[in-house]
Chain A
Amino acid sequence: MDPRKNNTDQKQIENDCRQAKQFGRREFLKGAAKAAAVGGAAMLAGCGTGMLGSSEELSLRWKEYFKKNYRLMTQEEKDVTVQRLEQLAKIKYNVNIQMRSKAPIDGVLFGYAFNVTRCEGFMECVAACVKENNLDRKSNTQYIRIFEMEHGQMSPEVGNGKFYHQVPVEDHFYMGVQCFHCESAPCIKACPTKATWKEPDGIVVVDYDWCIGCRYCMAACPYYGRRFNWNEPQVPLKEMTKKQHYLGNRMRAKGQMEKCTFCVQRSREGRLPACVEACPTGSRVFGNLLDPDSEIRFVLKHKKVFRWKEDLGTDPKFWYFID
């Protein structure tokens, strides 16, 4: 092997490497600068005015960002976060809200019954729920859906959920659907961060700030019980319900799941949910399943009740009955 030829080969290789390195270094720096400029611009454009706020607001948000899952909080931590949220609401919306974090009552398991014969499709329940739970008006979020059904079918899937005419229509009946607060809820099993769970009083709740917004629970729910905030919710300040619960009707943000909570802000104070109170025909019955003297137990004992999609094994606490 000729050493001289070897050396020239070697020099060639070295030259190539050096050139490649220089080319590489220049290109790399150019690319990096481009990426950094674009990335910075994108961040500023993307964040928009959302990030800009007073330093007090920012410090409250900072602390809120690092808080634990509600289930793991002690009562002091719950009180502290409730206070922070009240302050944030004052800064952001200029409203004075009263937020509570009331614990479930012992010996209570909430149950719900819906009288299919009595519902006339007035949708007072829908309007009351939207107002009570501070639902987003922009995307017309409604926890409750009412279906106009023809006689002969009992499943809302074949009903008309978008009716808007004088009610009731002859030969039709009306059925309402909302989260059924299943005892063995598939949404609870599906959530990867345990952001949704069943409280001891039977209400399936969501810790909105813990939810990462993957929407797996929405795929798992067979009843269309859950809603997602695709945009930042908008509620007119005049219509905002100021008595709020951490797990209930407090203001949510975009990217969070939400659902009917049997009006936890009301039912834990002994009051009826907004839908039950608003119904003009008295088709909705709500109460404590563990109280043998309650109305709901009377309905379950004496009326012909059924549950929707019972074959899926969800064990819902929402029964339909007919007179």
Chain B
Amino acid sequence: MKTPTLKYCLWGILPVLLLIFPAGPAYSAEGGVVQTYKNATVPFDDQKQVDGVLPLAVNSVQVTERYKGGRFRTETRKDKLQRFSCSQCHNNKPVTVPRAAEMTHGDITLVHGSQDRPLSCYTCHKKDERDFLVTEQGVKVDMDHSYQMCGQCHFRQKKDWVGGAHGKRISYWAGQRVVKNCTACHDPHSPLFKKRWPTTYSPPLSKSK
């Protein structure tokens, strides 16, 4: 009986080859997803490609900044302010109600800026036209476009907000981009966030049953 050494070798190598063979195609994708998206330079037509995107039912204004050559919108603010418009009271007539400031604006605590150089009311509010805000340079800013105010100091966050890395998008991912404005999340008078309890928790994973 001949010793079938060659047969052994073949039988032994065959499963090994079959195992290594599928590994080749696994490494054929060069660069992965990063290369895939870097190669994608053609703009995506939301309206054409994605059907069923409904326009968002919020009041919004178009932001003055351009976003990658296009425009985007942000929520209006004036319709959400309780005491707007300011000129109803602040119209150069004398205020006759006693302690009016406390009654109307008593709920505002101004804690904005550093301790030795805090902001004051007139840093942002235009003294002669109370319906508007004013920048350091004296440029009048509408309350719906308050991002221009915040962007004076917080220019990095504003740049991110225009791009999409900061703030919150309230429209769909496809279609017209509508984002929250700064004051929707940050109270401009005391912007520091308070602590709160989380909505839920992750229960322990031990099987107690």
A248 on the interface (CB 8 Å rule)?
A: no
Given known contacts A127-B199, A145-B202, A270-B52, is B40 in contact with A291 (CB within 8 Å)? yes
- Contact check, A166 vs B173: say whether CB atoms are below 8 A apart: no
Give the total of B residues in contact with A, Cβ under 8 Å. 48
A124 nearest in chain B by CB position: B199
Residue A315 lies at the interface, judged by CB distance under 8 Å to chain B = yes
Do A267 and B49 touch (CB < 8 A)?
no
B201 touches A271 (CB 8 A): no
Question: Which secondary structure characterizes the binding site on chain A?
Answer: loop
Total number of residue pairs linking A and B with CB closer than 8 Å: 161
Complex Cα distance A196/B49, Å? 26
CB contacts (< 8 Å) of A244 on chain B: these are none
Determine how close the nearest CB of chain A comes to the CB of B172; give it in whole angstroms: 4
CA of A11 to CA of B146 in the docked complex: distance in angstroms?
112
Q: Is the C-beta of B166 less than 8 angstroms from some C-beta in chain A? A: yes
Complex Cα distance, B26 from A279, in Å, reads: 37
B104 within 8 Å of A by Cβ?
no
- Determine which of B36, B44, B193 lies in contact with A293 in the assembled complex, contact meaning CB atoms within 8 Å: B44
User: Could you tell me the distance in whole angstroms from the C-beta of B56 to the nearest C-beta in chain A?
Assistant: 11
| Chain B residues near A280 (CB-CB < 8 A) | 168, 185
Bound Cα distance from A38 to B149, whole angstroms? 80
Asked if A162 and B49 sit within 8 Å, CB to CB, the answer is: no
Query: B24 interface residue, CB < 8 Å from A?
Result: no
Q: Which of A278-323 contact B (CB under 8 A)?
A: 279-282, 285-300, 302-303, 315, 317, 321, 323
The answer, yes or no, to whether A150 is at the interface (CB within 8 Å) is no
**Is B82's CB within 8 Å of the partner chain A?**
no
How does the 8 Å CB contact mask read for A238-269 relative to B, with 1 for contact and 0 for none? Answer: 00000000000000000000000000000101
Q: Does B174 contact A (CB under 8 A)?
A: yes
**Interface band, chain A:** 35 or more
Contacts of A109 in B (CB 8 A): 33, 36-37, 40
Residue from A146, A270, A285, A315 having most chain B Cβ neighbours under 10 A = A270
6 more A-B residue pairs beyond the given contacts A113-B165, A292-B68, with a C-beta to C-beta distance below 8 A: A108-B44, A270-B53, A281-B168, A287-B173, A298-B165, A303-B160
Q: List 20 A-B contacts (CB under 8 A).
A: A122-B198, A123-B198, A123-B201, A140-B203, A146-B198, A161-B202, A163-B201, A269-B172, A271-B173, A285-B164, A285-B165, A285-B169, A287-B164, A288-B173, A289-B33, A292-B43, A293-B68, A295-B177, A315-B33, A321-B165
Q: Which residues of B contact A (CB under 8 A)?
A: 26, 29, 32-33, 36-37, 40-44, 46, 49-50, 52-53, 67-70, 156-157, 160, 163-169, 172-175, 177, 180, 185, 193, 195-204
Ordered nearest first, which 7 A-B pairs have the shortest CB separation? A295-B164, A282-B168, A291-B44, A270-B174, A298-B163, A290-B40, A164-B201
